[in-house]
């Protein structure tokens, strides 16, 4: 009967929302992108080796108890038995007690519902009602609110957990990190874990056993090693504090991303931050709505409405309405709840005491509000307990480069290697956290996934247990993120002879694969490329190295002189500069491959690719730097922001409100596009629409004339999102 | 008396209708509570500012002392 009623009474709304209902979700690209993001978020690989599975019986002797499995940040699994009608708070308390964590306000328990939407466990509601998918309930202990000022975290243990969470985020790619920052962070991690760098005991190869970045290369590891030596004398606690202080300046630090669709159907993302809501188009920032300026944040079914006021030059206030669409109503509600909680945590001093209004029975709409302590309360609680000890877990280790290299030389024949490589492709696919299969598998079997096997037994374990990284792949795909590995070609400053050879060999193999379309190949090159193709999805750098070593060994066997022997490579490397200068004109095209004869082709192609990559990467880097500078949250108001943030948490109310408002005023430049765009925006049927242009919502310093175009583009995008009617 | 006996089934029907209406409305309300929500961030912040102000009156800008004209 209820279904009948629902159908009859909501038929009209159903028809309107049919195009966007959740049944369609699986086929659409936005949903898949969201799922990929969620895979990263939820099923992220653990950074440290966890302890044993812990069992907490908290249900007394009752027979009908529910079991919750919580995966902690350090990788350990905690099984908690609770009474049937326990609330989220009970589970949370058990976990806090087990961890001995006092500053629990920053953390939360997350679970996935059957539609692959992540939810935070509500402390006030019963667990059974929230997690509808049957027991055992799988939850993930994560940082819910990334503290805007990590120095305000009282306890070292809290900071340690934050470091673990951030390391996980960086590894999964959720937190994008430029090259030098990730090098420094890796060095801090090593300093914290292994202490001072002792060249007698620790070598660069040791660094390769760790995973710090999804695009880890040997060059990066060497840099990390050097940086690590610089941090001599730092204690683990100090290293972690520095780690957090470095991380907090990253653009995407603490940004809670949710993927949405705009009114124009394009893919956007909303990021929740302590200062406001960021709007991303694809992966570039196009707007920031400050919390004080957002007057309404509503959701209805799967549409989220944002009403923002802006002051234009004349001091008038104008309202702008933005509507975003999500792939399901659950996701929409989740985003709305996250936004509500985020705002309350970061912006309010105490959670709102929801006065039960007279229309409590007949109210429409969720009553959800943030329950818990806000950041202000958390940092001003004042209760600091005597120093408590905790154990830092060792990081997860993977086979180092030398080991996989050594293992590969023994079965030296090429076809054997390709056979060895192909089974590695399968585990790689599992190594990317695939939430779908994982989720379907979870409720049956054990949840410690075989993906994260600790490869302590180094006997015959093939390298693909390792986390996906590939110098070959990085050189191919890292133009946008990591320019250093490409520019690493120009650096020949390796001290370790083994690395030099490896690096050079890697380069020769990677470059031709990426850039060269070689029509006529020798047999070796053919096989090499073919094996590279096979290993295309296999990201471990070591199989590539295996091939290279093989090539070197096979060289005396065949008379086809591909210059892959180390001696020839050395010589070629020395002549890098000269070759590049001669071929810089012809090197601009990517596909430029075979110039010259066979013997020359190899070095020339790599040179071409090198120069072409250098040429191509330079303008893209410049453009990106320009965009980043313009779009960057940190650069233009970098100095203002920490003061404001510090002011929020430590200063008095008057000071706080004035500094906040001054910050708001400061960072909203009243720049508007020329009014010629106004006629495009006029809609005849909307009384709400003001024909003035969309205000410039971004706090960017004005730059050169080229920034005008970019601003126009951004405003066009914002205008496209602007909704005048629901 | 006669009035009551005559309107008995009518009363029952009215009560049944009322119950039905209540049930329907509760379904609708529950659905809408799940599917809708509203939040006003700036209003919350203003409420906060208003609540904070009476607590700390001393932090208002101190008025300058009156000058004495000699």
pLDDT digits over A656-693, tens only?
Answer: 444 444 444 344 443 444 444 434 333 334 333 333 44
Look at chain A and count its residues. 726
Residue A7 pLDDT level (bands cut at 50, 70, 90): low
CA–CA separation, A245 and A595 (whole Å): 50
Those residues whose C-beta lies under 8 Å from the C-beta of residue A679, and which sit 6 or more positions away, are A691
- Mean of pLDDT over chain B: 80
pLDDT digits over A431-453, tens only?
Answer: 334 333 333 333 333 333 333 33
User: pLDDT: is A133 or A467 the higher one?
Assistant: A133
Cα pseudo-dihedral A553, A554, A556, A558, rounded to 10 = -170
What are the Cα distances from residue A133, in Å, to A120, A178, A387, A676? 15, 39, 40, 55
User: pLDDT: is A685 or A222 the higher one?
Assistant: A222
pLDDT digits over A348-365, tens only?
Answer: 887 776 555 545 555 677
Per-residue model confidence (pLDDT) at position A436:
39
The answer to whether the Cβ–Cβ distance between B45 and A348 falls below 8 Å is yes
pLDDT digits over A131-148, tens only?
Answer: 887 777 889 999 999 998
pLDDT digits over A504-560, tens only?
Answer: 343 334 343 433 333 444 444 444 444 444 444 444 444 333 333 334 444 444 444
Of the partner residues B37, B41, B59, the one whose CB lies closest to the CB of residue A368 = B37
Per-residue model confidence (pLDDT) at position A465:
39
Residue A250 pLDDT level (bands cut at 50, 70, 90): very high
What are the Cα distances from residue A541, in Å, to A503, A505, A596? 10, 11, 30
Q: Are A304 and A335 in contact (CB under 8 A)?
A: yes
Per-residue model confidence (pLDDT) at position A337:
92
pLDDT digits over A299-335, tens only?
Answer: 988 889 999 988 777 777 788 899 999 988 889 999 9
Pairing outcome for strands A65-71 and A137-143: parallel
Of the partner residues A5, A298, A362, the one whose CB lies closest to the CB of residue B27 = A5
Q: Which residue has the tokens 């005023």?
A: A665
CB contacts of A276 in chain B (<8 Å) are none
Residue A6 pLDDT level (bands cut at 50, 70, 90): low
Has this prediction a pTM greater than 0.80? no
Q: Are A355 and A138 in contact (CB under 8 A)?
A: no
Q: Chain A interface, mutation test: which of B31, B38, B57, most A Cβ atoms within 10 Å?
A: B38
Mean pLDDT of A333-344: 92
pLDDT digits over A21-49, tens only?
Answer: 333 333 344 444 445 555 555 556 667 77
Predicted ipTM > 0.85: no
- Kindly state whether B41 is in contact with chain A, defined as any CB-CB distance less than 8 angstroms: yes
pLDDT digits over A163-185, tens only?
Answer: 999 999 999 888 999 999 999 99
Is residue B40 predicted with pLDDT exceeding 60?
Answer: yes
User: pLDDT: is A418 or B21 the higher one?
Assistant: B21
Chain A residues contacting B via beta carbons under 8 Å: 2, 5-6, 9-10, 291-301, 309, 329, 333, 336-337, 339-340, 343-344, 347-350, 352, 361-368, 652-654, 657
């Amino acid at each position: 009967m209820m279904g009948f009623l629902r159908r009859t009474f909501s038929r009209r709304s159903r028809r309107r929302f049919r195009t966007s209902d959740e049944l369609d979700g699986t086929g659409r690209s936005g949903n898949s992108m969201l799922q990929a993001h969620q895979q990263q978020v939820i099923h992220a690989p653990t950074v440290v080796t966890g302890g044993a599975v812990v069992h907490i019986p908290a249900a007394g002797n009752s027979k009908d108890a529910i079991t919750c499995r919580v995966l902690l940040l350090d990788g350990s699994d905690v099984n908690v038995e609770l009474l049937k009608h326990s609330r989220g708070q009970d589970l949370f308390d058990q976990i806090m007690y087990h961890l001995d964590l006092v500053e629990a306000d920053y953390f939360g328990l997350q679970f996935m519902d059957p539609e692959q939407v992540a939810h935070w466990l509500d402390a006030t509601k019963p667990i059974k009602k929230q997690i509808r998918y049957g027991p055992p309930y799988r939850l993930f202990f994560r940082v819910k609110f990334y503290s805007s000022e990590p120095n305000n975290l009282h306890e070292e243990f809290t900071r340690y957990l934050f470091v673990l969470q951030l390391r996980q985020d960086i590894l999964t790619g959720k937190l994008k990190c430029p090259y030098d920052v990730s090098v420094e962070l890796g060095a801090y991690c090593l300093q914290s874990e292994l202490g001072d760098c002792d060249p007698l005991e620790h070598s660069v190869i040791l660094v390769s056993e760790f995973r710090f970045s999804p695009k880890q290369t040997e060059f990066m590891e060497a840099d990390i090693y050097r940086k690590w030596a610089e941090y001599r004398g730092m204690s683990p606690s100090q290293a972690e504090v520095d780690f957090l202080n470095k991380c907090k300046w990253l653009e995407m630090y603490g940004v809670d991303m949710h993927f949405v669709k705009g009114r124009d159907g394009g893919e956007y993302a909303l990021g929740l931050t302590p200062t406001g809501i960021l709007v991303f188009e694809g992966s570039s920032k196009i707007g920031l709505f400050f919390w004080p300026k957002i007057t309404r944040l509503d959701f209805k079914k799967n549409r989220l409405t944002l009403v923002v006021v802006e002051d234009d030059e004349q001091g008038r206030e104008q309202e702008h309405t933005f509507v975003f669409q999500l792939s399901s109503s659950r996701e929409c509600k989740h985003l709305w709840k996250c936004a509500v909680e985020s705002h309350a945590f970061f912006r309010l001093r105490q959670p709102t005491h929801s006065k039960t209004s007279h229309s409590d029975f007949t109210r429409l709409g969720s009553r959800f509000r943030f329950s818990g302590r806000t950041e202000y309360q958390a940092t001003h609680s004042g209760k600091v307990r005597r120093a408590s000890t905790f154990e830092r877990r060792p990081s997860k280790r993977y086979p180092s480069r030398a080991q996989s290299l050594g293992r590969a030389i023994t079965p030296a024949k090429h076809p054997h290697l390709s056979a060895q490589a192909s089974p590695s492709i399968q585990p790689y696919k599992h190594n990317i956290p695939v939430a779908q299969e994982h989720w379907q598998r979870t409720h049956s079997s054990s949840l410690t996934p075989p993906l994260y096997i600790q490869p302590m037994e180094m006997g015959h374990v093939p390298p693909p247990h390792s986390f996906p990284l590939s110098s070959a792949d990085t050189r191919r795909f890292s133009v946008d993120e990591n320019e250093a590995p490409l520019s690493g070609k120009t650096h020949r400053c390796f001290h370790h002879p083994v690395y030099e050879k490896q690096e050079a060999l890697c380069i020769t193999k990677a470059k031709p694969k990426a850039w060269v379309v070689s029509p006529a190949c020798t047999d070796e090159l053919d096989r090499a490329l073919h094996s590279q193709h096979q290993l295309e999805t296999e990201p471990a750098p070591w199989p590539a190295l295996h091939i290279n070593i093989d090539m070197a060994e096979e060289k005396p066997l065949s008379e086809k002189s591909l210059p892959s022997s180390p001696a020839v490579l050395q010589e070629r490397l020395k002549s890098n500069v000269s070759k590049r200068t001669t071929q810089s004109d012809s090197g601009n095209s990517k596909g430029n491959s075979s110039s010259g004869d066979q013997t020359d082709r190899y070095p020339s192609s790599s040179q071409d690719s090198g120069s072409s990559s250098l040429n191509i990467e330079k303008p893209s880097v410049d453009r990106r730097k320009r965009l980043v500078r313009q779009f960057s949250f940190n650069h233009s108001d970098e100095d203002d922001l920490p003061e404001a943030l510090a002011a929020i948490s430590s200063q008095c109310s008057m000071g706080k409100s004035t500094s906040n408002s001054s910050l708001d005023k400061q960072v909203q430049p009243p720049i508007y596009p020329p009014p010629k765009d106004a006629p495009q925006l006029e809609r005849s049927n909307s009384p709400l629409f003001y024909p003035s242009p969309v205000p410039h919502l971004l706090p960017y310093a004005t730059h050169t004339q080229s920034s005008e175009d970019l601003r126009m583009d951004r405003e066009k995008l914002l205008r496209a999102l602007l909704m005048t009617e629901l | 008396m006669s009035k009551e006996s005559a309107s008995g089934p009518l009363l029952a029907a009215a009560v049944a209708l009322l119950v039905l209406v209540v049930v329907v409305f509760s379904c609708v309300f529950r659905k809408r509570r799940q599917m809708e929500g509203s939040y006003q961030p700036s209003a919350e912040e203003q409420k906060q500012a208003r609540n904070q102000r009476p607590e700390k009156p001393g932090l208002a800008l101190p008025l300058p002392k009156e000058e004495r004209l000699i």
